[in-house]
């Protein structure tokens, strides 16, 4: 679900998702002609040209930093960000002179996107801008290099440090309560040093947002959806409300199965689930505990992991597999430079940010994938997801820079996941990764359970991260109660509890990349909803008739044509117009999720009969 870093690596998206350093250098333009001599149209034309130069510089520095973490690359990335954000801050200030002028629709939209396109605007004060740059770089680098190192005792040699990969593997594979709790604890120590830096970062980023005319940074984030900030908050709540009953039914069933394994004294009816038992460091996706909750053991067990290994797949072949799917819809092959310049597996000689991400370094066709792939189904799906970002970037590469982005940030995250919904058992059988795929009721429920453990389980997590930050930015949550408020929201939305006593000496929010990386997170909730809405529209375009969960648009030229037409629009028009191009409606709607999972929802109602569902708090 999270297969994208804060960097999208495509045109103005680099500004919209900037994370490694969130401040600006002395604000100057690249060329000498003063803004007051320019018409609004000329000003925007110059912005598109000059921003492109600075974005390319920042993308290059960011790529090197993420693929070779050192103090030097951190400094270079911070300096490149300073120049970029300094320019943007000055440009946003210069743009105010056009506010009362009659503007063409395209110019008016470009200036709006300029103002809204930063995840943390720089304060005007030069010292504060530089400080914000240092804080942003240090926060992301601290996360990227995060490891748990057990202190040596009684003169013995210290044990090897454990990375996020190793600790995640414990959460995914162990079924020992104590081992799970300890692995969870160890990862959550890496964020403690971030706490003071993050509090200061919030102060400075809020100052920059207020200078841009927003009440705080959260209001600035919420304003980026072609509606007032308060209307967007209500819209996010409406969409989550459409799917919350399905999540609550899944939670009830999973909790009962976990109680069988760990005992009712640890997993109690009517109470939150201890977070370390759900197979993931953040309890955001639960697919790793499928073996504990499988509805019908052995029914149509699609061993794609085994098939990938047996057929000698590696990272390159998995990418080619995903590329072939997109090609079946009419998307072009990836350029030769992609294969030469991407980082597909973890290097052995240096620290890198393994969090999967898609990059476009020249704002045209120098597209790259950065990830630490394993030969398994999870990595294969992540690749399908990330290629969605790259094909979106390629589709709108001819748009002016300020329009070279998703219609809104949820669109970008939804594209690749829409494609993964077409990775049905029938599709996997067609490409030779499974044999004898069954369509029995038992097989269907098993397959839907696997999907729901990741997609439906993610929904409340997608809601709570930004709700926490919106309240932090607004001052409703202060550093004095960062951690208590974090766990209150996790309890409220996810129905999970901390494995161990927590205090304000901890900073558990910072153990999730997107918080120190300052990446808005509601996009992932929107993306999950949009991917099903897009999937239904593509299935209709392909002329499919049947249950939505059985549809694959693989090979449909018409579905591909309509998909590419939507992507090519970029951010040039308000997102409701872009959404309408594909779906025929101007409103996001989660109804397709409920349609897709209708078989599982009915089955869960049967299983949960007589159970004490829900949780206190």
Task: Sort 172 into a burial class: Cβ within 10 Å, 0-12 / 13-18 / 19+.
Answer: middle
**Residue 188, C-beta contacts closer than 8 angstroms, at least 6 positions apart:** 506, 508, 511
For residue 116, the model assigns a pLDDT of: 78
pTM of structure: 0.88
**β-bridge partners, 148:** 162
Task: Sort 140 into a burial class: Cβ within 10 Å, 0-12 / 13-18 / 19+.
Answer: buried
**β-bridge partners, 357:** 370
Spatial separation of the C-alpha atoms in residues 240 and 176, rounded to whole Å: 33
**Cβ 7 vs Cβ 19: under 8 Å:** yes
**β-bridge partners, 583:** none
For residue 152, the model assigns a pLDDT of: 77
- Compare 351 and 530 and report the one with higher pLDDT: 530
Residue 551 is classified by DSSP as -
How wide is the angle at C-alpha 133 spanned by C-alphas 129 and 136, nearest 5°?
A: 135
**Where do we find the tokens 């990335």?**
77
Spatial separation of the C-alpha atoms in residues 468 and 240, rounded to whole Å: 16
Q: What is the mean pLDDT of residues 223-248?
A: 95
Spatial separation of the C-alpha atoms in residues 507 and 193, rounded to whole Å: 8
For residue 258, the model assigns a pLDDT of: 98
**Residue 139, C-beta contacts closer than 8 angstroms, at least 6 positions apart:** 194, 197, 198, 201, 510, 516, 517, 518
Report whether pLDDT(62) > 50: yes
Residue 493 is classified by DSSP as I
Nearest to 177 by CA among 115, 258, 94: 258
Q: What is the mean pLDDT of residues 206-218?
A: 92
**Which tokens hold the place of 527?**
């993306």
Ranges 117-131, 132-146, 249-263, 461-475: which has the least confidence: 117-131
Spatial separation of the C-alpha atoms in residues 558 and 535, rounded to whole Å: 13
**Where do we find the tokens 């709540």?**
237
Report whether pLDDT(156) > 80: no
pLDDT (tens digit per residue) in 332-389: 999 999 999 999 999 988 988 888 999 999 999 999 999 999 999 989 999 999 999 9
DSSP for 11-78 reads: TTHHHHT--S-----S---SSSS-GGGS-HHHHHHHHHHHHHHHHHHHHHHHHHHHHS--HHHHHHHH
Q: Where are the alpha helices (DSSP H) in 396-510?
A: 409-420, 425-430, 441-473, 482-489
215-238 residues labelled b (16+ CB within 10 A) or e (exposed): ebbbbbbbbbbbbebeebbebbee
Report whether pLDDT(203) > 80: yes
Spatial separation of the C-alpha atoms in residues 2 and 413, rounded to whole Å: 9
pLDDT (tens digit per residue) in 122-150: 888 989 988 998 999 899 889 988 999 98
Q: What is the mean pLDDT of residues 452-458?
A: 97
DSSP for 261-321 reads: HH-TTTS-TTSPEEGGGSSSTTSS--GGGHHHH-SSTTTT---HHHHHHHTT--HHHHHHH
Q: What is the mean pLDDT of residues 233-262?
A: 97
pLDDT (tens digit per residue) in 497-525: 999 999 999 999 999 999 999 999 999 99
Spatial separation of the C-alpha atoms in residues 151 and 157, rounded to whole Å: 9
């Amino acid at each position: 679900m999270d297969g994208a870093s804060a960097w999208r690596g495509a045109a103005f998206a680099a500004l919209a998702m900037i994370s490694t350093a969130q401040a600006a250098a002395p604000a100057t333009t690249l060329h000498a002609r003063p803004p007051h001599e320019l018409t609004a149209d000329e000003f925007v034309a110059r912005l598109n040209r000059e921003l492109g130069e600075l974005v390319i510089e920042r993308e290059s520095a960011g790529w090197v930093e993420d693929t070779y973490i050192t103090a030097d690359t951190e400094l270079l990335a911070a300096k490149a960000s300073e120049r970029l954000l300094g320019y943007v801050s000055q440009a946003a200030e210069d743009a105010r002179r056009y506010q009362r002028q009659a503007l063409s629709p395209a110019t008016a939209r470009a200036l709006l996107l300029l103002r809204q396109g930063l995840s943390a605007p720089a304060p005007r004060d030069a010292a504060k801008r530089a400080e914000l740059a240092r804080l942003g770089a240090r926060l992301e680098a601290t996360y990227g290099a995060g490891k748990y190192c057990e202190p040596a005792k009684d003169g013995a040699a210290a044990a090897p440090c454990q990375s996020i990969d190793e600790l995640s593997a414990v959460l995914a594979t162990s079924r020992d309560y104590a081992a799970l709790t300890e692995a969870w604890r160890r990862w959550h120590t890496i964020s403690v040093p971030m706490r003071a830096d993050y509090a200061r970062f919030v102060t400075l980023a809020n100052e920059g947002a207020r200078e841009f005319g927003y009440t705080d940074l959260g209001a600035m984030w919420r304003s980026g959806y072609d509606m007032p900030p308060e209307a967007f908050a209500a819209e996010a709540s409406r969409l989550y409300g459409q799917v919350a009953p399905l999540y609550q039914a899944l939670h009830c069933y999973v909790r009962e199965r976990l109680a069988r394994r760990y005992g009712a004294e640890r997993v109690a009816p009517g109470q939150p689930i201890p977070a370390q038992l759900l197979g993931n460091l953040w309890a955001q996706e639960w697919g790793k505990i499928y073996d504990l909750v499988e509805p019908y053991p052995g029914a149509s067990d699609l061993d794609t992991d085994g098939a990938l290994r047996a057929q000698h797949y590696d990272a390159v072949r998995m990418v080619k597999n995903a590329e072939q799917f997109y090609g079946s819809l009419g998307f072009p092959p990836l350029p030769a430079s992609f294969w030469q310049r991407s980082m597909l597996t973890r290097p052995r000689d240096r620290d890198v940010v393994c969090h999967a991400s898609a990059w476009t370094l020249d704002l045209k066709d120098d597209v790259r994938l950065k990830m630490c792939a394993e030969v398994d189904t999870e990595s294969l799906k992540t690749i399908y997801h990330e290629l969605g970002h790259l094909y979106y970037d390629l589709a709108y590469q001819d748009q002016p820079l300020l329009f070279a982005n998703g219609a809104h940030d949820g669109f970008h995250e939804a594209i690749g996941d829409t494609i993964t919904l077409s990775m049905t058992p029938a599709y996997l059988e067609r490409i030779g990764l499974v044999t004898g795929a069954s369509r029995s009721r038992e097989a269907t429920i098993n397959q839907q359970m696997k999907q729901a453990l990741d997609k439906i389980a993610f929904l409340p997590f997608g809601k709570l991260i930004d709700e926490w930050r919106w309240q932090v930015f607004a001052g409703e949550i202060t550093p004095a109660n960062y951690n208590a408020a974090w766990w209150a929201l996790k309890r409220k939305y996810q129905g999970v509890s901390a494995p161990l006593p927590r205090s304000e000496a901890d900073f558990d929010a910072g153990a999730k990349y997107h918080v120190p990386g300052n990446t808005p997170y509601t996009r992932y909730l929107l993306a999950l909803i949009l991917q099903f809405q897009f999937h239904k529209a593509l299935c209709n375009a392909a002329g499919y008739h049947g249950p939505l969960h059985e549809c694959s648009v693989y090979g449909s030229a018409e579905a591909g044509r309509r998909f590419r037409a939507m992507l090519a629009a970029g951010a040039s028009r308000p997102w409701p117009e872009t959404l309408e191009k594909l779906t025929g409606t101007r409103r996001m709607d989660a109804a397709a999720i409920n349609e897709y999972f209708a078989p599982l929802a009915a089955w869960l109602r049967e299983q949960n009969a007589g159970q004490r569902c829900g949780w206190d708090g």
